[in-house]
Chain A
Amino acid sequence: MTEPLLSVRDLKMHFPLKKGFRRTGTVYAVDGVSFDLRKGETLALVGESGCGKSTTGRTVLRLEEATAGSIRFEGRDVRALSKKELFTLRRDMQIVFQDAYSFLNPRLTIGEAIAEPMEVHGLYDRAERARRVEELLDIVGLSPAYAKRYPHECSGGQRQRLGIARALTLQPKLIVADEPVSALDVSVQSQVLNLFQDLKERFGLSYLFISHDLSVVRHVADRVAVMYLGKIVELGTAEQVFGETAHPYTKALLSAVPQHEVAVARERIVLQGEVPSPIQPPSGCAFHTRCPVATELCRVSVPALDEITEGHFTACHYVEKGVSA
């Protein structure tokens, strides 16, 4: 097997909780996450708010400094890079945020905003940059006239296209897409998702696709990692995770998604209570407080992320190896 584009091992991100100068606790936002992302692949990180999926994405790009663990991008240790080396590496790894409005500078025209990364990295001359801006707008399906407009003149879908155009400026290999379609209406959402798919084929991009929406993930992801309270509880191909769901949390999550196809009768597993606080995560398996099949063992012992069938991993004491429940 070829070397993965991105390899994350035992990544931890612990935020200190402070009251004044006194440290009063720790938020275990990401607590031992490992995964590989191959070239040309889309790996989705799914989970509910606070599960650590966004933090994982940000830490991978070193927008946050990880507490522990290793991040390798094309074999290079990202965490050991100097500021200067990191600057160069950033050309290869870009991010698309949920709301493009919050990161686009309202005083820059769209053309200027897209050209900015090229300027920062000292690429091309002015004329070439202008030409490339036009090309990028065309790639994401906007007319060149948009280069002269300002962000507030654009709709949500258009702004998201701009966010993508800007991320593509430096011809990255990896794009971390953090909830890229969550703020969009269905008809616009489908346009943007198709755009993601097209760009992947056209430029051989790899995506770390962060989303809470399982129906979206079902269609865009090659592989899926389900997170709960800072840990991956299930990891596998989209077919494995959606078709041969193993972990009780993934099952509950899937059963909770409302569907408009009434034909399929489904049994809904309604989880009781709420996601526990990552400040004091439960002992043992973090899901045991809400798990319908939890026993004493789950309360005391942390299950490892074991391979149950080839490429399908799950962290549960009660999923047998070799069979998918």
Chain B
Amino acid sequence: MGAMDTGNMEGRWRDLDYLLLRQGNIVGPGFEPAPEIRDFLQDDFKVLVIGAGGLGCELLKDLALSGFGHIDVIDMDTIDVSNLNRQFLFRMHDVGKPKATVAAERVMKRVKGVTVIPHHCRIEEKPDEFYKDFHIIVLGLDSLEARSYINSVVCSFLEYDADGTLDMSTIKPMVDGGTEGFKGHARVILPGVTPCFHCTLWLFPPQTTFPLCTLAETPRSPAHCIEYAHLIQWGQERTSETFDADNPEHMKWMYEQALKRAEQFNISGVTYSLTQGVVKNIIPAIASTNAIIAASCSLEALKIATMCSSGMDNYMMYVGTQGVYTHTVSYEKDMSCIVCSLGVPVHADADSTLDQFMKQLIADDRFSGKLSKPSVSHLGENLYMAAPPILEEMTRENLSKSLVELLGEKGGTVNVNDKKLAGVLRVQVAFSDAASEPNAMDTAGAG
């Protein structure tokens, strides 16, 4: 038993092997049973788990026991006492340590042969190339922002041929899980094929906010009093400090101010727990929902990797509030999605210069706030690079060239990069005076 011991004694993977070594009628496309599939899963396949929290812990366990041999996990958080009711890889004595590191250690200790590499950092700190290195990315996140970020990165890997056909080898599959109390969802995202997060942004409910005048003048609920302390009072009374929701003294102050205000207005119901809930926007969480959702995500990852069973198409909702209810929906891709589509259709004058065209893009409402100093490329060739200076100088002469000169008679797809964009923005240029519309519909088959 040395460092190389994978623990793979005879019979260990018996049940997985039934799936990988036997043909079935309900399998994924091109599935050919073979022992090499498990070797591939254990030796070559690389999976990234984003988040080592409630879902993340479950995902790491499930993936390791589904036969995945190489797992990376990224999480910026440290362990808190309130994690322990569900994040089963952590113990009381781990409180304060990085989640990713502890989770990786525990899984490797328990499941022999698996390598789990932890990354204790923000997802934005990793270069895009880091994400390119994985065959599949599984998300166990609790914020829309983080999902949007990774979605943009993964969609920016997509490449389309000159005729608008998606290069299938540039697809990085994602499996996403989410839970809130007794509810949850699992979904499979094949960027460019199935809807990305941005295509279905409406799935995420808007956050509740209170009008400031209600908070300031006519509070009626405990939450109003808490938000007053949080959004107004802190800034007025503790001007030099930044509020930190994880600082117990800050939270206590918040609670006491809210309580005073509530008493002043005859409002009952302000508690420390409610104060925390409102200020930190706490989402209730229990172990079993996380387990169910993570299990579904892991199975989908296994199916994508091996095709041993047909996959989910493409969104499963789960509701355990009353009885058990699930429903799987095949959502549709937004053909003009600014993140994953072949390109956002933009009409331009064939004779306008690249400089004029870039100004037109900046002024376009659809990209408002997303572009400041864009760089533009076409079919892998840089048309204009805003930075570094040497490239800027080399490409500057293109600014005065006309679009028809740069893109040809029919226009085409240009990739726009900007510091303000998380990924690449694909713009499909059609000339206004040309008879044809942007060819989004012609290539709809790609979705």
Instruction: Answer yes or no: do A and B interact.
Output: no
- List chain A positions with a Cβ less than 8 A from chain B: none
- List chain B positions with a Cβ less than 8 A from chain A: none
